[in-house]
């Protein structure tokens, strides 16, 4: 310590900077800078459910938001699985079959609603399921399949459904221009006609930031419905990977990312706006075919 003090006074006309924690020429000690707090990475809040075909059997796997595997239903003896819904509160899955759907909890229960399948998409609206065939919409009790209401209009090409608040929104990819249909406890009605001029852009409807309705194409290009309705085809965000089999999309508010489920390469994520890196988060198990996917929170 004495040697260091002497070094600080070698020349009275020269001030030698002192380091943190060491005595200085004026007799004071420079304090160490406060240690920076570690920055926590945001934790994902959206999980993924996959319906898989392994050999002759159907398998349903739940992946937690952190990517770890959760509940699994395997060896399911029904065909036609595709559309799938999962309720994390009750850890219950609903999987479309060739004639209706199956409720999966502690047991497997086959349910055959009045609106026969196969269903192109399904979604939970409270305790009810919104069921889509290519031409009809039904709202049924999820646990039993008892029908509450059904559409009275023959639709051309129903594609996907998402829920926002008390309403479910459905895209009808008709040739004259995609329409947006609203479904709730009071009925089924046209919400907006001709939301786009190109039906290739308006598939995979989902809810984004600020409760905006978004759609994503099979190549992972995301558009805002409000922009398409105003005549703008500028995308909200674009995946820089060469994806061609995107089947489902979701927005994770915790990480501000768009998640993309594909039929061949699993789960991808990208920034919620702009053209950014699209990173692979999850690959499907070996020896299976992905036939359905569903994002849940």
What is the residue extent of each domain of the chain?
195-282
pTM for this structure?
0.84
What pLDDT is recorded for position 172?
95
- Distance, in Å, from the CA atom of 52 to the CA atom of 290, rounded to the nearest integer, reads 5
Q: Report the candidate in 154, 187, 184 with the shortest Cα–Cα distance to residue 172.
A: 154
What pLDDT is recorded for position 1?
35
**232, 259 Cβ separation under 8 angstroms:** no
In this structure, what token pair is assigned to residue 291? 């036939």
What pLDDT is recorded for position 11?
30
What pLDDT is recorded for position 199?
61
Low-confidence ranges of the chain (pLDDT < 70): 1-41, 79-81, 199
**70, 47 Cβ separation under 8 angstroms:** yes
Tell me, which fold does domain 195-282 have in CATH?
Answer: Thrombin, subunit H (2.40.10)
List, edge to edge, every strand of the sheet that includes 246-252: 246-252, 257-262, 267-271, 279-282
Cα dihedral across residues 19, 20, 22, 28: positive or negative: positive
What pLDDT is recorded for position 141?
98
Query: Which H or E run contains 95?
Result: strand 92-96
What pLDDT is recorded for position 224?
95
Q: What is the pLDDT of residues 125-150, one digit of tens each?
A: 999 999 999 999 999 999 999 999 99
What pLDDT is recorded for position 80?
59
What pLDDT is recorded for position 24?
60
Q: What is the pLDDT of residues 138-195, one digit of tens each?
A: 999 999 999 999 999 999 999 999 999 999 999 999 888 899 999 999 999 999 999 9
């Amino acid at each position: 310590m004495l040697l260091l003090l002497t070094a600080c006074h070698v020349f009275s006309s020269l001030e030698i900077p002192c380091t943190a924690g060491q005595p200085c020429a004026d007799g004071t000690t420079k304090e160490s800078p406060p240690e920076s707090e570690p920055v926590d990475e945001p934790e994902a809040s959206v999980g993924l459910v996959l319906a898989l075909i392994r050999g002759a059997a159907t398998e349903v796997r739940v992946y937690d938001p952190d990517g770890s595997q959760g509940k699994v239903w395997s060896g399911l003896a029904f065909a036609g699985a595709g559309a799938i819904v999962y309720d994390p509160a009750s850890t219950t899955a609903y999987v479309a079959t060739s004639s209706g759907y199956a409720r999966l909890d502690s047991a497997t229960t086959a349910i055959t609603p009045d609106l026969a399948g196969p269903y192109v998409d399904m979604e939970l609206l409270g305790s009810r399921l919104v069921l889509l065939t290519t031409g009809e919409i039904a709202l049924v009790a999820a646990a039993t399949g008892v029908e509450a209401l059904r559409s009275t209009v023959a639709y051309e090409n129903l594609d996907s459904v998402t829920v926002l608040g008390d309403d479910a929104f459905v895209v009808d990819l008709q040739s004259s221009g995609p329409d947006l249909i609203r479904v709730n406890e009071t009925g089924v009605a046209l919400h907006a006609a001709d939301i786009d001029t190109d039906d290739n852009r308006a598939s995979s409807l989902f809810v984004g930031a600020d409760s905006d309705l978004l759609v994503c194409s099979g190549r992972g290009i995301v558009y805002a419905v409000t922009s398409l309705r105003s005549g703008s085809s500028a995308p909200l965000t674009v995946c820089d990977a060469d994806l061609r089999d995107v089947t489902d999309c979701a927005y994770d508010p915790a990480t501000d990312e768009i998640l993309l489920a594909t039929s061949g390469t699993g789960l991808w994520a990208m920034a919620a706006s702009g053209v950014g890196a699209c990173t692979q988060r999850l690959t499907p198990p070996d020896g299976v075919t992905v036939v359905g996917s569903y994002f849940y929170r």
